[in-house]
Amino acid sequence: MATTNLSAYDKATIPNGKQFRFGIVVSEWNENITQGLLEGAKTTLLENGVQSDNIIVWDVPGSYELIYGSKKMQDQKVDAVIAIGSVIQGQTKHFDFVCEGVAQGIKDLNVLHDTPVIFCVLTDNNLQQAIDRSGGKHGNKGVEAAVAALKMAELRKNA
């Protein structure tokens, strides 16, 4: 469980994003959560110098589809991709399969391709936990993902 505000970061330690282009792939499932994460990510990118026309947003049906959407987004000449989703524990093992598959799929994209994909998929036990991490009392995980994307884009440029 997060104990700090996820939205807190030192702007002085973040690369200026003016020269970068980002892709964001967003799950439509649990849209009330993923839209909050998307807004946090977009706002953070814009606040750190990214031009609005250098942010491409694609929707996919669910979190499992983030893998394919992120793979196709890597082909769009972006400097980093942010994969945004929300999976909330239910009464079946479906939660486990989706979470494992998405985590492994995004890991594979990072290993196999040169464009980093940032994992911004909430895997919560209940709706309240997701609300708390998508703009609620624990801040916004989308902000954290955007900060990671800026840092990884800079690393990719300089490596």
pLDDT at residue 2 greater than cutoff 70: no
Name the CATH superfamily, with its identifier, for domain 14-158: Lumazine/riboflavin synthase (3.40.50.960)
**What are the sequence ranges of the domains in the chain?**
14-158
Q: What confidence tens digit (pLDDT) does each residue in 47-72 have? A: 999 999 999 999 999 999 999 999 99
pTM: 0.94
**Can you tell me the distance from the alpha carbon of 106 to that of 141, in angstroms, rounded to the nearest whole number?**
17
Q: Enumerate the active-site residues.
A: 94
